[in-house]
A and B are shown apart, each in its own frame.
Chain A
Amino acid sequence: MMALFSKTSGSFREAKGDLRLEAVTKKFGDFTAVDDLSLTVPRGSFFALLGPSGCGKTTNLRMIAGLEQPSQGRILIGDTDLTGSRPYERPVNTVFQSYALFPHLTVRDNVAFGPKRRGLPDAMEKADAALKLVQMGHLAGRKPPQLSGGQQQRVALARALVNEPEVLLLDEPLGALDLKLRREMQVELKRIQTRVGLTFIHVTHDQEEAMTMADTIAVMNKGRIEQMGTPASLYDLPRTAFVARFLGQANMFEAEVVSSTADTLTLERAGHHFTLPRKRAAVETGTVLYGVRPEKLFLSEKAPTDLPSRMVTLGPGRIIDVSFTGVSTNYIVDVPGFGAASAFEQNLDVDPVHNRPGDECWLSWDQGHAFTVATETAEASTP
């Protein structure tokens, strides 16, 4: 009985270093939630797992936390293999999506729960310090049901942070907050992460949230990582159609590679030719998807002349929709042979917008902003 009710879990594993997932697979019956995934998260980084619901990002998080065990593969922190260990044995803590605060305990007791279980003598002091860090010190005596969503969120964060885990997992932590609070908490989370210097792994389906906070983003789809990198690099040069679409918007159309040089590729569709740097092409032969982001397009009422050779021109097309968003005006342009394209024009002019649906226009862009990725059919047929 003594051992059963002892305050500390004897098998707690101290581990320090990068978090590594090695060829991790998780199956639920016939369904593969995470498929042969390998990943290294450098110690102290703010890492985001981004993807639509059902992509396996939460399962991945739960395997790191120990709430699920991988069907295959290993999970390590530094050189310590954590595969198969229980959640309470890992130097990992989670901020749950629904916060999962203990409703029967005060805020302070909630935060002190972890340190107490580890038998730390100054659990209460630690709890107070953590609450101060998240600016919740004044509500320490309340119970969770008496708090607002944002306050509960902060308590959940403090409850995880107070343990100074090697890896802190955040499962859609801001999902239940309204937009304004969410923005505040994004900044706050980033501030705290910078201050404590812990490894944060943040699971979200909100690309903007991921890009705002993370040093590194891994975009997940169907149990696999599609692409991983800094927010800017992912946005600038997506390597799959899924990433291009999931992270921001992209105009994409199928084209044939017709010629290439050492540095460039030339594509053709409907009699138009497009050239782009070879280094921006994920696929270099056959039918590819050619893409360029809407804000990179310039819209002109007349066919542009005297453009530098790196600029690409497409037209004439016809404006079919105009919407004013304040920062920019968004156009949808129908170009024969290409379909609808989206163009965002910054509102730099003093004059009001005078383009109307039905007007004729031309689109142009710098070929250095274009990219190619595999077509979705080609992608689907790759095992």
Chain B
Amino acid sequence: MTALAQAQIANTTAVEGDHRVKGRRITPYLLLIPGLLWLVMFFVVPMVQLAIVSIESKFPGYPGYYYLDWNVFNYANALSEFWPQLLRSFLFAGLATIMAFLIGYPLAYAMAFKAGRWRNVMMICVVAPFFTSFILRTIAWRQILADEGPIASTLNALHLLPGGHITETWVAVVAGLTYNFLPFMTLPIYSSLERVDPKVIEAGGDLYANGLTTFRRVTLPMSMPGVLAGTLMTFIPAAGDYVNADLLGSDIDTKMVGNVIESQFFRVPGGFPTAAALSFTLMAIILLMLFAYTRRFGTEELL
């Protein structure tokens, strides 16, 4: 408080003494303290702990006990054993991101330009699922896709369902991921489309671009910040998700890396290092992808 007050004095009156200048200088750092403390306590410290666990070994004979021996082979072992699940995570997350984009973009476009007085209603429809628990929503999907539910029974009646059921397939997992992260795709795109002046789109038409060309050359590039944010906000949590694969997937070929981490943490005695190593690998890959992605489509390119 004193520092703040000093800073105010320093701002409003002519700077006389040295101490006032100092007050002004340290204020921004003081303001950073709560945020930094929070970050250190709940991000840096757990990260360091996780990093340590990932290079520990289990104590023979005492499940749940570990000691640090710089066992970097945890990473090699985890990767060589669980690369299919890791790969599948990115594949499913990628598919879900593409699906969410294909569904979310037209939805956001309709909300921004065509909805008129229905805009608020549509907005509520997009946001409403947030008011229910993520897991309950996914369980509801299980009911919808159940064998005796409307979709599966119709497809079965038409002999269009090769395996006889939708749940326990990768399609159900990707559909669940798409559904659960759709709002994260739609809302950022909507907010960047909403800022597009309709006159600019008209200008595209006026300058000899037909509807599609105008979309491709004008509307889409202008909404890229939203697309960028939306794809990241969909892809990143989807890649780490395990609920959809757990509730909608099968036990053979749809488990994702999140399921492995969960299982190693909670069900396999002595699995903590593997789980931690996998968590770090997942994080590292996502960071690398993020870096490459923003370098390629980065915001400095847009506006």
- Residues of chain A whose beta carbon lies under 8 Å from any beta carbon of chain B: 4-5, 7-9, 12, 65-67, 86-88, 92-94, 96-98, 100-105, 113-114, 117-118, 143, 145, 159-160, 163
Contact = CB atoms under 8 A, between A and B. Distances in A.
A38 B133 CA distance: 63
B128 interface: no
12 contacts: A9-B209, A9-B210, A66-B205, A66-B206, A67-B206, A87-B202, A87-B206, A92-B206, A98-B197, A100-B200, A145-B303, A163-B207
A18 to B, nearest CB: 21
Contacts of A67: 202, 205-206
Nearest to B225: A104
Please give me the 9 A-B residue pairs with the lowest Cβ-Cβ distance, nearest first: A117-B208, A114-B207, A100-B199, A87-B205, A100-B203, A88-B208, A100-B200, A104-B221, A117-B209
B222 A93 contact: no
B203 A102 contact: yes
B227 to A, nearest CB: 12
Contacts of B205: 66-67, 86-88
Interface centre among B204, B208, B216 (most CB of A within 10 A): B208
B144 interface: no
Given A104-B302, A104-B303, A113-B217, A94 B206 contact: yes
A94 to B, nearest CB: 5
Size bracket of the B interface: 20 to 34
Given A67-B202, A94-B203, A145-B303, A100 B197 contact: yes
Contacts of B217: 113
A5 B213 contact: yes
Interface centre among B205, B216, B224 (most CB of A within 10 A): B205
A114 B206 CA distance: 8
Contact of B210 (A88, A98, A145): A88
Interface string B215-242: 0111001101000000000000000000
Nearest to B205: A87
A103 B199 CA distance: 12
Contacts of B206: 65-67, 87-88, 92-94, 160
A8 B207 CA distance: 11
Contacts, number: 78
Given A100-B200, A100-B203, A104-B302, A114 B208 contact: yes
Nearest to A7: B213
B199 A98 contact: yes
A94 B207 CA distance: 8
B136 interface: no
B1 interface: no
B212 interface: yes
Interface centre among A5, A103, A104, A118 (most CB of B within 10 A): A104
Contacts of B199: 96-98, 100
A359 to B, nearest CB: 54
B218 to A, nearest CB: 6
Interface centre among B213, B222, B224 (most CB of A within 10 A): B213
A65 B202 CA distance: 10
A102 B218 contact: yes
Nearest to B196: A103
B213 A118 contact: no
B208 A163 contact: yes
Interface centre among B205, B206, B212, B217 (most CB of A within 10 A): B206
Contact of A103 (B204, B208, B303): B303
Contacts of A118: 208
Interface centre among B207, B209, B222, B303 (most CB of A within 10 A): B207
Nearest to B207: A114
Interface centre among A12, A92, A96, A102 (most CB of B within 10 A): A102
A102 B302 CA distance: 11
A7 B210 CA distance: 9
A203 to B, nearest CB: 14
Contacts of A86: 205, 210
Nearest to B195: A103
A104 B222 contact: yes
A101 B202 CA distance: 11
Contacts of A113: 204, 207, 209, 217
A105 B303 CA distance: 8
B212 A4 contact: yes
Nearest to A94: B206
Contacts of A8: 208
Given A96-B202, A98-B197, A100-B197, A117 B207 contact: yes
